[in-house]
Amino acid sequence: MTTSLNGMRIAILVTDGFEQIELTSPKEALEKEGATTVIASEKAGQVQGFHHDKKADHFLVDQLFDDLDANDFDAILLPGGVMNSDNIRMHESARKFAQTMSEKKKPLAVICHGAWLLVSAGLVMNRTMTSWPSLQDDIRNAGGRWQDREVVTDDNWISSRKPDDLPAFNNAFIAAIADYKQRSVAGTEDENAVGLAAG
């Protein structure tokens, strides 16, 4: 299976205080495979990245949460960072976007504290996933199954615990998007074949 992600658009949802490497590492890996990444946030301008508890770089915001349309994207990435993850879960538009992307079975990748958004969006029930260890009670209390592994894949979800897991996380996310792309192309070809037969 080819991992070319040409034509794939990935929404990266963050607010100030995200763990910078959990955005930059997947973003670079995705773009290297030909994907387009879009940084979305609560407000226009820039968002502040962090290296753990220290301020790092600023990143331009491409789109607002309120303007996100699941039909425009093929996958969603949720970086962690305590401040970011505690804030983003309070934004209804971010929760709704995650809900719609998950309902549409589009690849959803979450790492570290990013799982808080999925808990608040009511999406964790009956899901198997991992996260930063301190979130395991939140996930279990929300009806999910928590595992201490570097990467966990459950249907269209990919989850990891921390920055050390990024190589495995990136590879699993790229593979999931490539598979989604392949299935989408196959589905389009089937629809065209049905249309031709009917005509």
Say if residues 165 and 182 touch (Cβ distance below 8 Å). no
51 classed as catalytic? no
CA 55 to chain centre: 23
User: Which candidate, 78, 75, 76, places its Cα nearest to that of 15?
Assistant: 78
User: Could you tell me the end-to-end alpha-carbon distance of the chain, in angstroms, rounded to an integer?
Assistant: 32
HSE-CB for 118 with a 13 A CA cutoff: 37
Query: Which tokens in the block code for residue 122?
Result: 């009511």
Of 51, 52, 91, 113, the catalytic one is: 113
Query: Which tokens in the block code for residue 46?
Result: 């820039």
CA 166 to chain centre: 13
User: Which candidate, 61, 163, 79, places its Cα nearest to that of 115?
Assistant: 79
Active site residues: 113
